[in-house]
């Protein structure tokens, strides 16, 4: 009969929880890649006798705790259980706490094997395999079964108290979520159908694309049903992923509202993940015990910090910092640890979708059953493309080559020569290669291997620029290995530099076009993924480019707004095309002034670029100095962005000038009198250039709609997002001007929200 508090854990997780000690030490050492690790394990196994058994599945139990894992190898002739670790560099420099952890894993496997085979004694061995020299260093300990059993049970006892606590928490959580009520008296229009679809997707184990208009409460409308699904679908975690910090704040606020409806006693552990540079207490120090006081003895103080943190249930960046500093541990790495023990994790897209994503790797390693919410999912295409693209600049190579240690001169020189050879016949400033030039790819691999070896041999302080180049080169090389028709290799050359000097600056890029190949495994790893946004039209564009499963469900929530709330004007007598831009400046300024004089209030005006914005703003300021105006600036910081938004007050009047696709074109909430209208002087389409034209060709070859996938769909999405700032609630009223003669074309009109109705008095009609 199963114990009511039965708990299962992997050997690695058990040892990391109970046997880690000492400092947090993140000094970079070039560890073998996963492929090199697999090859190293195979090499060691091949050197053993014919009776050698590799990759043994083992499991054992202590009380109600089941421990399972896969031992690297067992030599029955020598009765030696082997734990194999691949490495490069000087083995003597391996931190003692790493070695301590390796021994713990080996001894646990040793006991599980003794128990399974009925052995009374065994030799436990750590086999350190140098992937460069192909040498083995074997450290062995003869152990009796009794000794190994005692060691195993000691670790289990340390964990069982925590496991019992976790099991009890899970039961309390599931009981509370079963009884959880929607935190409002009723659902908003469209919100119920959204919530029901999210719940159904979790029940059926399917992905869902949900297009739902702004103002219906998408955040609470997706979080609530997934939490309700947790007990029935035995979900371990819910990941709420967003592209911006404002999305994280909305998710945390929604969960706080759910918690407040049960007197703040909802047993739900929530953690907000933020970037390391935003959580670091000592940015001037390195992440190891000899430099940072919060890394010194980190694992010795971690148990108490972890215990205190989970007692608080919910942690934003600020509250987690308080706990971390009270226990003198690093806030960022405490948050990474708490992911394992939290129910809801709120963070950026990259935590699950990037190639080295923390949440995805933990999900796979621990076999978690998870559901994922992707907020403002229209952003995921561009973000994923960036995750799976890489650039190298030859100017960076030349800089590191000039100051590199002697040992790196030759490989970096070879790389520079190969780079020159790859670009010497390039007559155009931009060219696409069918694949990376072979000699360049080979030289790059040799250079990264040489840098890795130097780091392994001399891990002391290395030049920061060299390390940055090394990491960029590694990322570039990895993407080259997975290159297929969804990505391309291109070279851009600065033509001005090229005409002045033979030492032209060129940039080599592995550019992802369609991230579907990389994202598909992420969707497979979840019980359900819900992608929601106000702009997911057309459906096939997002499904194709993101690699969603064929059975992905689709929901288009009807807008709760009426056509009378938004007066939409097509301005057909103005062209915002680049060649007509100078002619459009005065008419646009006049149009804005006319609308403002007719109905004073707060407006936003969106343009395709800062240059265009500045031209119209300058004209407007000269002709209409009585109208208050403020402008988005290039590279605005958080304080400047807040000051821009603070100008929108209920009693205020004026026009804010912003760039379409920027930080004020989506994700901001200005209901009621805070914003009564918008002018959009662009179709928002990406710039027509050689790179985008190559993307168009690839999209055309893959999907047959190159222009639409590259230009039209992404552009109109930005327009609809910006326009969505005007009407935020069922009581809002506003005016929208779409300034360009192309807006009235049928292929564009059908991409606009169906509830919009163009006013009869459209300009230029």
Give the CATH number for residue 101: 3.90.320.10
Looking only at the bridges linking them, the beta strands covering 270-272 and 314-315 are: parallel
Residue 762 forms part of a structural domain: no
Residues paired with residue 392 on neighbouring β-strands, in sequence order: 508
Q: How confident is the model at residue 464 (pLDDT cuts 50, 70, 90)?
A: confident
pLDDT on residue 461? 54
pLDDT on residue 459? 62
Q: Which residue in this structure is represented by tokens 């928490």?
A: 169
Residue 757 forms part of a structural domain: no
Residue 218 forms part of a structural domain: yes
Q: Are residues 238 and 290 in the same domain?
A: yes
Q: Are residues 522 and 577 in the same domain?
A: no
Q: Are residues 119 and 138 in the same domain?
A: yes
CATH number at residue 494: 1.10.275
Residue 174 forms part of a structural domain: no
pLDDT on residue 499? 46
Tens digits of residue pLDDT in 370-409: 999 999 999 999 999 999 999 999 999 999 999 888 889 9
> Is a pLDDT exceeding 70 seen at residue 179?
yes
The total number of residues shown for the chain amounts to 765
> Is a pLDDT exceeding 80 seen at residue 263?
no
pLDDT on residue 765? 40
Annotate 517-551 with b (16+ C-beta within 10 A) or e (fewer).
Answer: ebbeebbebbbbbbbbbbbbbbeebbbbbbbbeee
Pair of tokens at residue 34: 């996963």
Q: Are residues 435 and 341 in the same domain?
A: no
pTM of structure: 0.91
215 versus 12: the higher-pLDDT residue is 12
pLDDT on residue 497? 47
Residue 761 forms part of a structural domain: no
Q: Are residues 340 and 401 in the same domain?
A: no
> Is a pLDDT exceeding 60 seen at residue 500?
no
Q: Are residues 358 and 290 in the same domain?
A: yes
Residues paired with residue 142 on neighbouring β-strands, in sequence order: 123
Tens digits of residue pLDDT in 729-741: 889 999 999 999 9
Q: How confident is the model at residue 32 (pLDDT cuts 50, 70, 90)?
A: confident
Mean pLDDT of 26-38: 76
Among candidate residues 500, 535, 556, the one where a domain is terminated: 556
CATH number at residue 712: 3.40.50.300
Residues paired with residue 147 on neighbouring β-strands, in sequence order: none
Q: How confident is the model at residue 573 (pLDDT cuts 50, 70, 90)?
A: very high
Tens digits of residue pLDDT in 284-319: 888 888 899 999 999 999 999 999 999 888 888 899
> Is a pLDDT exceeding 80 seen at residue 561?
yes
Q: Are residues 341 and 252 in the same domain?
A: yes
Q: Are residues 613 and 549 in the same domain?
A: no
What does pLDDT average to over the chain?
92
Residue 173 forms part of a structural domain: no
Q: 419: domain range?
A: 389-514
Q: What are the C-alpha distances in Å from 85 to residues 12, 31, 99?
A: 13, 10, 10
Nearest to 73 by CA among 103, 110, 37, 39: 110
> Is a pLDDT exceeding 90 seen at residue 649?
yes
Report the number of distinct structural domains present in the chain: 4
Mean pLDDT of 176-181: 94
Q: Are residues 257 and 310 in the same domain?
A: yes
Q: Are residues 316 and 427 in the same domain?
A: no
Among candidate residues 128, 160, 192, the one where a domain is terminated: 160
């Amino acid at each position: 009969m199963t114990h009511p508090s039965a708990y299962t854990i992997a050997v690695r997780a058990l040892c990391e929880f109970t046997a880690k000690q000492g400092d947090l030490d993140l000094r970079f050492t070039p560890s073998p890649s996963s492929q090199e690790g697999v090859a190293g394990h195979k090499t060691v196994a091949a050197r053993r006798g014919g009776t050698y058994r590799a990759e043994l599945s083992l499991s054992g139990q202590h009380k109600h705790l089941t421990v399972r894992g896969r031992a690297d190898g067992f030599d029955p002739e020598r009765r030696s259980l082997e734990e194999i670790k691949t490495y490069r560099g000087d083995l003597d420099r391996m931190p003692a706490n790493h070695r301590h952890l390796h021994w713990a894993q080996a001894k646990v496997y040793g006991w599980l094997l003794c128990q399974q085979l009925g052995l009374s004694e065994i030799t436990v061995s750590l086999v350190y395999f140098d992937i460069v020299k192909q040498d083995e260093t074997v450290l062995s300990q003869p152990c009796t079964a009794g000794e190994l059993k005692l060691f195993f049970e000691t670790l289990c006892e340390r964990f069982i108290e925590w496991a019992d606590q976790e099991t009890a928490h899970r039961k309390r959580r599931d009981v509370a979520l079963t009884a959880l009520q929607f935190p409002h008296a009723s659902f908003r229009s469209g919100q119920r159908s959204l919530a029901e679809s999210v719940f159904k997707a979790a029940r059926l184990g399917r992905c869902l694309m949900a297009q739902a208009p702004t103002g219906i409460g998408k955040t609470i409308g997706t979080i609530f049903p997934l939490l309700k699904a947790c007990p029935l679908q035995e979900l371990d975690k819910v990941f709420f992923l967003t592209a911006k910090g404002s999305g994280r704040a909305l998710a945390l606020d929604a969960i706080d509202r759910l918690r407040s409806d049960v007197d703040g006693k909802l047993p739900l552990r929530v953690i907000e993940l933020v970037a390391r540079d935003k959580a670091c207490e000592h940015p001037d120090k390195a992440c190891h015990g000899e430099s940072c006081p919060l890394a010194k003895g980190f694992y010795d103080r971690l148990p108490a910090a972890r215990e205190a943190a989970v007692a608080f249930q919910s942690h934003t960046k600020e509250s987690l910092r308080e706990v971390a500093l009270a226990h003198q541990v690093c806030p960022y790495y405490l948050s990474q640890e708490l992911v394992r023990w939290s129910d809801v994790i709120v963070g950026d897209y990259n935590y699950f979708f990037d190639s080295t994503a923390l949440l995805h790797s933990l999900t796979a390693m621990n076999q978690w059953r998870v559901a994922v919410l992707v907020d403002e999912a229209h952003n995921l295409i561009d973000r994923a493309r960036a995750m799976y693209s890489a650039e190298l600049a030859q100017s960076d190579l030349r800089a590191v080559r000039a100051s590199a240690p002697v040992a790196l001169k030759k490989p970096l020189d070879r790389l520079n020569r190969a780079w020159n050879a790859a670009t010497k016949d390039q007559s155009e400033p931009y060219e696409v290669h069918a694949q990376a030039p072979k000699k360049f790819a080979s030289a790059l691999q040799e250079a990264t291997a040489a840098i890795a070896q130097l780091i392994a041999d001399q891990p002391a302080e290395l030049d920061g620029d060299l390390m940055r180049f090394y990491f960029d080169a590694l990322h570039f090389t990895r993407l080259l290995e997975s290159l297929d028709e969804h990505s391309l290799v291109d070279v851009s050359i600065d033509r001005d530099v090229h005409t002045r000097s033979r030492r032209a600056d060129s940039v080599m890029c592995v550019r992802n076009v369609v991230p579907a190949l990389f994202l598909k495994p992420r969707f497979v790893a979840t019980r359900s993924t819900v992608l929601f946004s106000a702009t997911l039209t057309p459906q096939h564009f997002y499904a194709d480019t993101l690699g969603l499963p064929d059975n992905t469900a689709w929901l288009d929530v009807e807008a709760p707004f009426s056509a009378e709330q938004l007066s939409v004007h097509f301005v057909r007598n103005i062209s915002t095309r680049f060649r007509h831009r100078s002619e459009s400046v005065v008419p646009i300024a006049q149009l804005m002034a006319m609308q403002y004089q007719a109905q004073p209030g707060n407006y936003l005006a969106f343009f395709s670029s800062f240059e265009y914005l500045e031209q119209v703003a300058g004209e407007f300021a000269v002709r209409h100095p009585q109208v208050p105006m403020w402008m988005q600036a290039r590279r605005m910081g958080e304080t400047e962005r807040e000051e821009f938004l603070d100008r929108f007050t209920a009693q205020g009047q004026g026009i804010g000038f912003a760039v379409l696709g920027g930080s004020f074109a989506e994700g901001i909430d200005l209901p009621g009198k805070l914003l009564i209208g918008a002018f959009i002087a662009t179709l928002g389409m990406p710039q027509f250039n050689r790179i985008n034209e190559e993307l168009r060709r690839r999209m055309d070859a893959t999907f047959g709609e190159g222009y639409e996938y590259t230009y039209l769909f992404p552009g109109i999405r930005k327009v609809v997002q910006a326009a969505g700032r005007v009407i935020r609630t069922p009581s809002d009223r506003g005016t929208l001007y779409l300034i360009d003669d192309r807006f009235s074309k049928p292929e564009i009109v059908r991409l606009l929200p169906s509830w919009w109705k163009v006013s009869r008095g459209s300009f230029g009609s």
